[in-house]
Structure 1
Amino acid sequence: MAFQNDSDKRAYWRENLRLMLKLLLIWFVVSFGFGILLVDTLNEIRFFGFKLGFWFAQQGAIYVFVLLIFVYVRQMNLLDKRYNVDEE
């Protein structure tokens, strides 16, 4: 279950960090951008009877965060299989 060589190890962690940065950027945009910076603009739109900016600030960011956790797990399982470091 170890890496074949050092170049595989570096490539694996480079891809891992790239994935984490993308997911953190999405989370930042949703939580800070939609929930704080764009709240007034988004409040003009209704979502399930609530103003969209309020919804993102109260619940939407949490839902997106949980979804990002599942995306991260799936992508890391694929990455583990690609580099033959999976636990199966």
Structure 2
Amino acid sequence: MEHKTTYWQENLRLIFICLIIWFVVSYGFGILLVEQLNEFRLGGYKLGFWFAQQGSIYTFVGLVFWYTRQMNKLDAKYKVEDE
């Protein structure tokens, strides 16, 4: 039972990290810091605009792959099996 609790806590930690990163990129960079980021350009577009339109999507896709890799490691660590 201890392994299941620890496994779940580590899983929640990974989810929390993903949510914080996604929030910072989508809300922080795309809304709160948009004016400061618009001083820079990325591929001809203002950086704040890019984060609001594309950056949060790319970050989300990257987080999905990162989360998958981390969960595979976690599963191997705890040898999670179907019940």
Partner of 1:83: 78
What runs of 5+ residues in structure 1 fail to find an aligned partner? Answer: 1-5
**What amino acid maps onto 2:6 in structure 1?**
A
Partner of 1:56: 51
1:53 CA drift (Å): 0.1
Larger relative contact order (CA 8 Å, sep ≥ 6): 1
1:85 CA drift (Å): 1.2
Partner of 2:19: 24
Partner of 1:13: 8
Percentage identity across paired residues of the two chains = 63
1:77–1:86 contact (8 Å) kept in structure 2? no
Greater per-residue helix proportion:
2
1:86 CA drift (Å): 5.6
1:66 aligns with 2:37: no
**What amino acid maps onto 2:12 in structure 1?**
L
Task: Report the CA distance shift for 1:61/1:10 in structure 2 as closer, same or farther (over 3 A).
Answer: same
Partner of 1:47: 42
1:33 aligns with 2:33: no
* TM-score, with length taken from structure 1: 0.91
